[in-house]
Amino acid sequence: MSSQGIILSGLDGDRTWRLADYIKRGGYDALKKIIAEKLSADHVIGEVKKSSLRGRGGAGFPTGLKWSFMPRAFPGAKYLACNSDEGEPGTFKDRDILRYNPHAVIEGMIIAGYAMGCERGYNYIHGEIFEVYTRFEEALQEAREAGLLGKNILGSDFSFDLFAHHGYGAYICGEETALLESIEGKKGQPRFKPPFPASFGLYGKPTTINNTETFASIPYIIREGGDAFLALGKPNNGGTKLFSVSGHVNKPGNYEIPLGTPFADLLEMAGGVRGGRKLKAVIPGGSSAPVLPGAVMMDCTMDYDSISKAGSMLGSGAVIVMDDSTCMVKALERLSYFYFEESCGQCTPCREGTGWLYRVVHRIENGLGRPDDLDLLNSVTANIMGRTICALGDAASMPVQSFIKHFGDEFAFHIEHKKCLVPQDVQREGSKIYVA
């Protein structure tokens, strides 16, 4: 974990998640400022818009704009949800934020509640990180006891309460409407959009869902101003961002850096490629983002626009690094199995298509590939994409398309020679148990 940013910085102590520690770091100053200066909701949303903060969960949608969609004058309940259901392979930033700086998320959510007139919020935490859920509950209790949550916050007439909710092992619940279904206690199957959550969300009421890191960025924006946040990054890509670097690097972990930092610098921070091997490929934004060849990545900067121009997406900022010991067919086989396993089964193209993708990649990997299998894979992805309720169909298809596009030779070799281009012992050596 290392930081040149605002969320993970100053977290050197061993009790950084405690309220007292957070307050020492300037925590809850933003909330106090809003209450003391009676800042208007429009002013708060204006600062967030100015900051050019874009959603950190994967889609990169401008947060200020999203907040302005909420019908603030709507009478009755309005809700806020935080998406900490971090299950996208390669992503592990929200876990560290919640482990070491949970109050930043709580403060961000209180401010969001103030700006959008919500009376209640939920933080949906990935089931597998149950210890984090327990810690977040403790942090909520601290905040309630300090009068920062609940009725009449800091003596004002603004009330907001916040609750933790845990998942129990379903990738799909990271999709925002599936997440809402899950909070309601149902199985997490995505809803049709429209209506969008801003008009029909949790329990049918207007709801805004943001990612953990997005909320954790809010206190800084209010305290220091939207312009200051924007200046940390580059135009249209405001602020610093956490990148979770995993795979074949010497120092895997979370790195908080300004948006627009060259990929080469990030790779160096993460200790470079293991064992002096050559960089082969990088998935820059979580397993659903299209893979890019190493050489292309070395020319990219880490921000939404640069990665998008190179043909992929920044997504959640999960950077999966693969060196030349990696068999790309095997890598894709594992990802395809994941999407097959995690498809919720609601839409036929995804439910059946992900099975087809996995089975065909599996047979290629196991020496049973047929000459027209690559065309078959491309045709299956074309039949999934854009034909499902949620983005999981696209998420399952993009890796397949991009692996074939950039590493088609390796797939063709597999089909023709019935074995890997990369020798088995090299693969084993490259992906053995590694501890930094």
CB of 89 to other proteins, least distance (A): 4
Which residue in the block uniquely carries the two structure tokens 């998942």? 167
Among 7, 106, 245, 398, binds other proteins (CB under 8 A): 245
Exposed e or buried b per residue across 65-74, where buried means at least 16 C-beta atoms within 10 angstroms of its C-beta: ebbbebeeee
Phi, psi angle pair for 366, to nearest 5°: -100, 25
Choose between 73 and 433: whose C-beta lies nearer to other proteins.
433
DSSP E strands, 145-262: 161-166, 207-211, 240-247, 253-258, 261-262
- CA–CA distance, 201 with 195 (Å, rounded to integer): 8
Q: Do 400 and 336 touch, CB atoms closer than 8 A?
A: yes
Name the 3-class secondary structure at 38: coil
Binding window for other proteins (CB under 8 A); candidates: 11-19, 201-209, 327-335, 361-369 = 327-335
Contact track, other proteins, 403-432, x by CB under 8 A: ---------------------------xxx
One-letter amino acid for residue 204 of the chain: G
Residue 287 binds other proteins (CB under 8 A)? yes
Q: Tell me how far, at minimum, the Cβ of 402 lies from other proteins, in Å.
A: 14
In this chain, which stretch among 7-15, 192-200, 241-249, 350-358 interacts with other proteins, using CB under 8 A? 241-249
Query: Does residue 87 touch other proteins according to CB under 8 A?
Result: yes
Q: How far is the CB of 229 from other proteins (least distance, A)?
A: 26
149 lies in the site for other proteins, by CB under 8 A: no
Q: At what angle do helices 93-100 and 130-145 cross, to 10 degrees?
A: 40
Q: Which residues of 118-203 form beta strands (DSSP E)?
A: 120-125, 161-166
Q: Say if CB 320 and CB 244 are below 8 A apart.
A: no
Among the listed residues 89, 117, 271, 355, the single contact to other proteins using CB under 8 A: 89
Distance in angstroms (rounded) separating the CA atoms of residues 67 and 48:
9
Orientation angle between helical segments 328-342 and 348-365, nearest 10 degrees? 150
Q: Binding of other proteins at residue 318 (CB under 8 A)?
A: yes
Mask: binding to other proteins, 329-358, rule CB under 8 A, as x and -?
Answer: --x--xx--x--xx-x--------------
What is the per-residue binding string for other proteins in 254-283, x denoting contact by CB under 8 A?
x-----------------------------
* 170 belongs to the binding site for other proteins (CB under 8 A): yes
If the CB atoms of residues 172 and 374 are measured against other proteins, the closer one turns out to be 172
**Could you give the C-alpha distances from 9 to 3, 100, 217, 426, in angstroms and in order?**
5, 10, 12, 39
CB of 262 to other proteins, least distance (A): 21
Binding site for other proteins (CB under 8 A): 86-92, 94-95, 126-131, 165-171, 182, 185-188, 244-248, 252-254, 287, 318, 320-322, 326, 331, 334-335, 338, 341-342, 344, 430-435
